[in-house]
């Protein structure tokens, strides 16, 4: 993950109700919940500060009504924030004109929502090429680009199908392909798989991971499913009542919850799904015979069977393939049965 910040927001508020800006000013930009309630206002997003890095999958999650969808719509100004600063490559989007925002959304932002909103009278090819048509790109060029993206998302051979002839998972692939047609610099996905049945949802998560490995996009992904979040996320922000409660890696949130709410939110997640070989490794000893090697970022759940069945430890390697530690059966078993492990 790159350390450069692609999108940043500072002190972002979205208050629903009359005269919200004056209300914020009256309370010096820091109203309490009781102040909002007394004024019959709703704090959809409350004083949010986040940095989203280039190339990372940043997941925003929370229960229904927590503010996650409102926040993402504020980040793209589909919903107008009441106050704050949103910087996209250093440009404050809240100071951009309507025409500038239209151009930014057309050329630099991709969006996928839970409801596919495909154009029923257009084929797969026509749906995917539609954003390029809006940009004024020639028919030959936009269809060539659309064919490439259709192949990328695994829909080759279905270019001339209509949405009604596709399964739910295939329709969502069309939605994903359409959002990628403009080669966005940042990709917003709002619960894109929640309408799918569990098996197709898992397949779409696998497809999403494959696409990200190829495309290396900066992604903001909304979900209320923690299992989905830990499969996909580099970092996760947990929201409650319009506020961001904690931001961290999946293992940070599970092992070091900042509040009782975060602890409750994550309590049913098996640690083997979030702890990695790199976190559990002991120091490396070249004289120790090993049974094989595992990458430092491999989660324990994915390698537990192999390590359990071996009487020799495994070498843990860096991203470059260099040995950095050893992982033995006891450490893995401690995690699987819920014993405390030192990290």
In this prediction, residues 328-342 reach a mean pLDDT of: 86
Smallest CA-to-CA distance from 60 within 41, 43, 73, 79 is with: 73
In this prediction, residues 72-99 reach a mean pLDDT of: 95
In this prediction, residues 325-333 reach a mean pLDDT of: 92
Please report the pLDDT score of residue 343 as a whole number.
75
The two three-digit tokens of residue 231, written as one number: 């499969």
Q: Is the pLDDT of residue 17 over 80?
A: yes
In this prediction, residues 311-320 reach a mean pLDDT of: 93
Please report the pLDDT score of residue 174 as a whole number.
92
Which residues are CB-contacts of 136 (< 8 A; sequence separation ≥ 6)?
Answer: none
Every domain range in the chain assigned CATH 3.40.50.300: 1-96+234-269, 121-219
Please report the pLDDT score of residue 113 as a whole number.
81
154 pLDDT tier (thresholds 50, 70, 90): confident
1 pLDDT tier (thresholds 50, 70, 90): very low
**Burial call 5-34: b when 16+ CB within 10 Å, e when fewer:** bbbbbeebbbbeeeebeebbeeeeeebeee
2 pLDDT tier (thresholds 50, 70, 90): very low
Every domain range in the chain assigned CATH 3.10.580.10: 272-337
From the candidate CATH numbers 3.40.50.700, 3.30.70.2190, 3.40.50.300, 3.30.465.10, the one assigned to the domain spanning 121-219: 3.40.50.300
The larger pLDDT score, comparing residue 241 to residue 341, is at 241
Please report the pLDDT score of residue 201 as a whole number.
85
Please report the pLDDT score of residue 3 as a whole number.
65
The CATH fold assigned to 1-96+234-269 is Rossmann fold (3.40.50)
Mean pLDDT across the chain: 91
In this prediction, residues 264-274 reach a mean pLDDT of: 87
Smallest CA-to-CA distance from 297 within 316, 274, 278 is with: 278
In this prediction, residues 254-276 reach a mean pLDDT of: 90
- Max avg pLDDT among 42-51, 152-161, 307-316: 42-51
Query: pLDDT digits over 125-144, tens only?
Result: 999 999 999 888 999 999 99
Please report the pLDDT score of residue 31 as a whole number.
95
Smallest CA-to-CA distance from 233 within 5, 4, 53 is with: 53
Please report the pLDDT score of residue 342 as a whole number.
76
The larger pLDDT score, comparing residue 88 to residue 113, is at 88
Under CATH, which architecture does the 272-337 domain have? Answer: Roll (3.10)
Q: How many CB atoms lie within 10 A of CB 307?
A: 24
pTM for the model stands at: 0.86
Specify the long-range contacts of residues 165-172, CB closer than 8 Å, at least 24 apart.
166/124, 167/200, 168/195, 168/196, 168/197, 168/200, 169/196, 169/200, 169/203, 169/204, 171/116, 171/118, 172/112, 172/116, 172/196, 172/204
Alpha helices in the chain (DSSP H): 20-26, 33-38, 68-75, 98-108, 124-134, 139-152, 168-180, 198-215, 226-232, 250-255, 260-266, 277-280, 300-308, 329-337
In this prediction, residues 262-276 reach a mean pLDDT of: 88
Query: pLDDT digits over 204-236, tens only?
Result: 888 889 889 888 999 999 998 888 999 899 999
């Amino acid at each position: 993950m790159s350390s450069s910040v692609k999108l940043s927001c500072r002190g972002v508020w979205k208050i629903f109700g009359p005269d919200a800006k004056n209300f914020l000013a009256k309370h010096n930009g820091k109203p309490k919940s009781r102040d909002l309630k007394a004024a019959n206002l709703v704090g959809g997003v409350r004083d949010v500060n986040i940095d989203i890095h280039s190339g990372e999958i940043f997941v925003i999650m929370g229960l229904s009504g927590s503010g996650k969808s409102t926040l993402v719509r504020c980040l793209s100004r589909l919903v107008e924030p009441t106050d704050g600063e949103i910087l996209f490559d250093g440009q404050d989007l809240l100071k951009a004109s309507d025409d500038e925002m239209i151009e930014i959304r057309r050329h630099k932002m991709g969006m996928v929502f839970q409801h596919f909103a495909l154009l029923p009278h257009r084929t797969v090819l026509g749906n995917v090429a539609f954003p390029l048509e809006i940009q004024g790109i020639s028919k030959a060029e936009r269809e060539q680009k659309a064919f490439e993206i259709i192949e990328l998302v695994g829909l080759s051979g279905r270019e001339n199908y209509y949405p009604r002839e596709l399964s739910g998972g295939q329709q969502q692939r069309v939605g994903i392909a359409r959002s990628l047609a403009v080669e966005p610099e940042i990709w917003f996905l709002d619960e894109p798989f929640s309408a799918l049945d569990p098996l197709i949802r898992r397949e779409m998560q696998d497809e999403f991971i494959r696409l990200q490995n190829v495309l290396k996009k900066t992604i903001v992904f909304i979900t209320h499913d923690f299992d989905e979040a830990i499969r996909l996320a580099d970092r996760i922000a947990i929201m409650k009542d319009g506020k961001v409660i904690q931001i961290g890696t999946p293992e940070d949130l599970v092992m070091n919850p900042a509040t009782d709410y975060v602890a409750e939110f994550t309590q049913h997640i098996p640690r083997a799904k979030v702890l990695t070989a790199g976190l559990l490794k002991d120091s490396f000893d070249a004289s120790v015979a090993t049974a094989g090697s595992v990458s430092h970022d491999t989660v324990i759940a994915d390698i537990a069977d192999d390590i359990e069945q071996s009487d020799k430890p495994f070498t843990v390697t860096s991203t470059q393939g260099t040995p950095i530690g050893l992982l033995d059966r006891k450490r893995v078993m401690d995690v699987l049965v819920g014993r405390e492990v030192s990290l």
